[in-house]
Structure 1
Amino acid sequence: MAVTDARVQGGDDRPTVSLLYNQTFRRIVYQTLTIVIIVLVIFFAWTNALDNLHRANMTSGFGFLNSRAGFDVAQSLITYSSDSTYFRALQVGLLNTLVIGVCGIITATVVGLLIGIGRLSHNWLIARLCTVYVEVFRNIPPLLVIFFWYLGVLALLPSIRTIFQHVQDNPGAIFFISNRGIYMPAPIFGEGFAEVVITFFAGIVAAIAFTIWANKRQLATGQRPPVLWVNLALIVLLPLAAFLVLGMPLSFDYAIPGSFNMRGGMVIGPEFLALYLALSLYTASFIAEIVRAGIRGVARGQTEASYALGLRAGQATRLVVLPQALRIIIPPLTSQYLNLIKNSSLAVAVGYADLVAVGGTILNQSGKAIEIIAIWMATYVTISLVTSLFMNWFNAKMALVER
């Protein structure tokens, strides 16, 4: 009589059992199920929205972007009027958002770096003042900071009538600050200025190439060419020479008093100033803490070694500590840049014509809520992803390379 081995029974099921315990197979199944669930949710939400629009006798689509806008925008970097299309108005809002983002990131980085280093200063007063700055701005909502600058500072500047009197008393003045903004000369670019710009960017490329060559030469021979002076000549003197040779193709349109306001020139409105100052200084307080943590993360022996080589405190910080601290600073710094860009949507609170404010006006006029919200989401996602990709690339360039 044959004895059946229990281990042999069910042998046909062993491939299935082994698949269930296979980590790669389970990962693929889980990811597939997740994608299917997400697609079903999006499909349900989309069909539900279409049904609701159909019941309300409303159409969907982006064809409305070619319709006439019918409203003005206070500050525009490109040509725009009330006869322009909705699409043109969204372009204006997008450019205004990008201007706030770029200017805010640059200012917040510089201020945050200085405040972060100041918190580590051996000077008691400087360290305490930087600490007060960080604690004040970090514990106030950004919207209140915007209102502070808009209603508490810029609204209290001299009125336009005072500016008119100032112009009469000082006929040579070219900059005017009032509660309606900062008036300054507007540049008028003549024929040949494009060549000057091309020369400037060519100088930047040449300066980068020369710096790379100088670094390689220093590693090979120990000799350092005069990088600073050569780069200044390429970036400053070369475009300046092209500017002079081409006949100085640049003039200015100056602001002069009008009937009720200044005419000519260019103006930076109080809405932009309030948003720019608020977001820059608010984000700088967080960047300062990131910088302080990054510097603290560098071993103290590095500073002591730099002192032993004869470097002063400022040189040690700039040449030894900060380059190593950047590897700690950059990853969390990316999050603060993204927060600043997304916080720019608070511009609607002070009437600055950013993407959200312009889109809100279009939404009220056209009733295309789903389309406008989709444009908002796609735009901010794109800006954030581009910023993240650049910062990830920069972080990879600054990372230590193992040999």
Structure 2
Amino acid sequence: MQTVHTGDEKIPLLNDPAKRSLIYQVGVMLMVAGLGYYLMSNTLTNLERQAIATGFGFLEKESSFEIGESIISYSAADNYARALFVGVLNTLKVSFIGIILTVLLGTLVGIARLSSNWLVSRLAAIYIEVLQDIPVLLQLFFWYAFFYEMLPSPRQALNPLSGLFLCNRGMIFAVPADHPVWGWMGWAFLGACIVAYFLRRWAIQRLFNTGKTFPVFWCALGLLLGLPFLVWTLGGAPVAMDVPQLRGFNFQGGMSVSPEFAALLLGLVLYTSAFVAEIVRAGIQSVNKGQTEAARALGLRQGQVLSLVILPQALRVIIPPLTSQMLNLTKNSSLAVAIGYPDFVSVANTTINQTGQAIEGVAMIMTVYLCLSLVTSAFMNWYNKKMALVER
């Protein structure tokens, strides 16, 4: 005889998978919350027993230490909040420039790795193997020692070009003297970049619709150079330069790139670009060879085949692992403390040593790098969705 179950029959609580999983999740959350409360209360009790201040009130106090490099104005009389902000900007500077250079260099090396020229392919392979196998910290030490040991003192500085000096204080070079027209030229260049972007999109759409090519490169180059030049001409065509001069034991004037920044940037870019090159190579090889043959059959040149057919398809494979390498470069920038570059970790460590508030300092370091990673991931996820194939 079969047992008939009616819809009104109640299932025991622990036999209902949905309710049982909910109970387990609530139980785990309560255990984690209890553990967090115990650790927090125990920490606060120990800090109070040792008369160690807590909270972020120290951020308003005078920092009383100098920072070697700063994008914004800063002095030892400023508070800790401004000092930490200087560290954040320094980290953003090396990370942003490093990511751009890494993507460009890694793409070039990855394409060279697939070159039919034996010498070019072997050199790219050696570049990848050597730089991948040497820890990034050792590379930072090498470049830092190179700039300090191999380059002369400021008094014997190398002068390969007029207004350019190389010494163990960094690379010092002449820059245009302060004038409003340079800011206008910057806006003009940005506008030219936007116009060139939409021009390229229009040219690609025109190619797909009519089969006719358009000289995008030369038109974009003309915009990027011509529009700022036109603004410079209309602004009075200033030519005055701020040339560095040796005064005492160092140079004054011009602009300088410190050995610490150069060593950090060079080490991070060379190390990370080796991994990016392999990602680019794998992405290109993932594209079916029939795509290349079909593009050539249509009469497209090699450069057009690469930019219009291969890379757009390869990007769908390249972007996810490329995002990881961007995050690695940003996080590896914290190694700057080993060579004296004042990034956020370095400034935060100095703040911790002076205030004794290690918990708050470490919490800020974790928060800053978490935010940088989330922003980078969000942007790359958006770009990845934009490049994804859309099924009809």
In the superposition, the TM-score normalised over structure 1's length comes to 0.88
**Comparing 236-245 with 262-271, which one deviates more in the overlay?**
236-245
Q: What is the distance in 1 between the residues matched to 2:48 and 2:150? A: 51
Alignment of 1:354 onto 2:343: yes
Who is 2:33 aligned against? Answer: 39
Indicate whether 1:52 and 2:49 are aligned. Answer: no
Deviation at 1:136, TM superposition (A): 1.2
Q: 3-state DSSP class of the match of 1:41? A: helix
Determine the C-alpha separation between the residues in 2 that align with 1:109 and 1:116.
Answer: 10
Q: CA deviation at 1:382?
A: 0.4
For the pair 1:264 / 2:250, whether they are aligned, the reply is no
1:17-54 C-alpha deviation (Å, 9 max, x unpaired) = 66x234xx556555544444443333332222211110
* SS of residue in 2 equivalent to 1:14: coil
AA at the equivalent of 2:11: R
Unaligned runs of 5+ in 1: none
Shift of 1:270: 0.7
The alignment status of 1:333 with 2:329, answered yes or no, reads no
How many matched pairs? Answer: 392
1:113-137 CA distance string (max 9 Å, x none): 1221222222222222221211111
2:79 to 82, 85, 93: 85
Say whether residues 1:114 and 2:103 are aligned partners: no
Q: Distance in 1 between matches of 2:58 and 2:172?
A: 36
Contact 2:147 2:168 in 1 (8 A): no
Unaligned runs of 5+ in 2: none
Whether 1:198 and 2:187 are equivalent positions in the alignment is yes
The verdict on how the C-alpha distance between 1:226 and 1:128 changes in structure 2, with shifts beyond 3 A counting, is closer
Amino acid aligned to 2:138: L
Q: 1:103 to 1:139 in 2, by over 3 A?
A: same
Structure 1 residue 305: deviation in Å? 2.2
Q: Percent identity?
A: 45
**Which residue of the other structure, out of 56, 65, 68, is the alignment partner of 2:59?**
65
The equivalent of 2:17 in structure 1 is: 21
Q: In structure 2, what is the equivalent of residue 376 of structure 1? A: 365
**Are 1:108 and 1:281, in contact at CA under 8 Å, matched by a contact in 2?**
yes
Q: Equivalent of 2:154, from 160, 177, 180?
A: 160
Give the secondary-structure state (helix, strand or coil) at the position aligned to 1:13: coil
For residues 122-271 of structure 1, the aligned pairs below 5 Å read 122-163=116-157, 173-248=162-237, 251-271=240-260
CA distance in structure 1 between the aligned counterparts of 2:292 and 2:203, rounded to whole angstroms: 26
User: 1:98 maps to what in 2?
Assistant: 92
Q: Distance in 2 between matches of 1:345 and 1:112?
A: 22
SS of the aligned residue for 1:57 comes to: coil
**2: CA distance between counterparts of 1:84 and 1:389?**
34
Give yes or no for contact 2:268–2:332 (8 Å, CA) kept in 1.
yes
The 2-side partners of 1:256 and 1:320 are apart by 51
Structure 1 residues 31 and 230, CA gap change in structure 2 (3 angstroms)? farther
SS of the residue 1:158 aligns to? coil
Which has the larger displacement, 212-221 or 283-292?
212-221
2:383 equivalent in structure 1: 394
Structure 1 range deviating more: 238-247 or 110-119: 238-247
* TM-score normalised by length of structure 2: 0.90
Q: Deviations over 1:274-308 (max 9, x none)?
A: 11110100001111111111112111222222333
Q: How many angstroms apart in 1 are the aligned matches of 2:26 and 2:215? A: 58
- The letter for the 1-side match of 2:359 is I
List per-residue Cα deviations over 1:208-267 (Å, max 9, x = no partner): 344444444444444455444443344332232122212246853221011111122221
For the 8 Å contact 1:150–1:274, the answer to whether it is kept is yes
Q: Does 1:309 align with 2:305?
A: no
Q: Is the contact made by 1:154 and 1:274 (CA closer than 8 Å) also made in structure 2?
A: no
**Is the 2:14–2:20 contact (alpha carbons within 8 Å) kept by the matching residues of 1?**
no
Q: Distance in 2 between matches of 1:387 and 1:54?
A: 39
Deviation at 1:355, TM superposition (A): 0.3
